[in-house]
Amino acid sequence: DKERVLEELNNAMPYLPEDPNKLKVQCFGYFEIFWKGEPLSFSRKQSKELFAFLVDRRGASCSSEEAIAALWEEDGNLKNVKQNLRNLISDLKSTLSGIGMEKVLIRQGSSLAVRPDLLDCDFLDAEGIAEFNRLDCMHLTCKGHSQLAEALFEKVTEIFG
């Protein structure tokens, strides 16, 4: 029955330990970046905002102009804003280099990105799990297991909204 399937799904959810060689990025609740259990501290407040913007892009690169538009919206002094962005990128690079995680940041010409494979990120994990389970539900339904698919869908919705 459906209740038994939900109970089995609850019991089957494995505890996945954090990877100590990845930056832990917490997007749900308050955005924070952790290294070895401690919050990562940047010299500039907006460096963390730039990092959050890059995480939200899920590894897709952005141009300097896109980053500027996201962080400063309408600032009339483009020269100052471009310098501010260079300062933030420099802060990100030096902070990440200081913990041996410089490879997280990808800089090619005027484009910038993060490597999601080097992040332990709740937002990226939830997105992947939700997509995986959506496909699982479709597969189970096609195979005639609609009750199991319904229970799986309910569990995923309960966890990820």
What confidence score (pLDDT) does residue 159 get? Answer: 60
**127-154 mean pLDDT:** 53
Return the minimum-mean-pLDDT range out of 39-43, 48-52, 84-88, 133-137: 133-137
Answer whether residue 98 shows pLDDT above 70.
yes
Closest to 141 (Cα-Cα) out of 132, 153, 130, 129 = 153
Answer whether residue 135 shows pLDDT above 60.
no
pLDDT per position as a tens digit, 100-129: 999 999 999 889 999 988 888 877 665 545
pLDDT per position as a tens digit, 30-56: 888 899 889 999 999 899 999 999 988
Strands, E assignment, 36-123: 38-39, 62-63, 105-108, 111-114, 119-121
Answer whether residue 139 shows pLDDT above 50.
no
What confidence score (pLDDT) does residue 95 get? Answer: 96
pLDDT per position as a tens digit, 1-33: 556 655 655 555 444 456 778 888 887 778 888
pLDDT higher for 92 or 134? 92
Answer whether residue 141 shows pLDDT above 90.
no
The radius of gyration of the chain from alpha carbons, rounded to an integer in Å, stands at 20
- Contact assessment for residue 23 and residue 40, using Cβ atoms and an 8 Å cutoff: yes
pLDDT higher for 93 or 26? 93
Mean pLDDT of the chain: 77
H or E element, residue 68? helix 64-72
For 110, the 3-state DSSP assignment is coil
Which tokens hold the place of 46? 């907006």
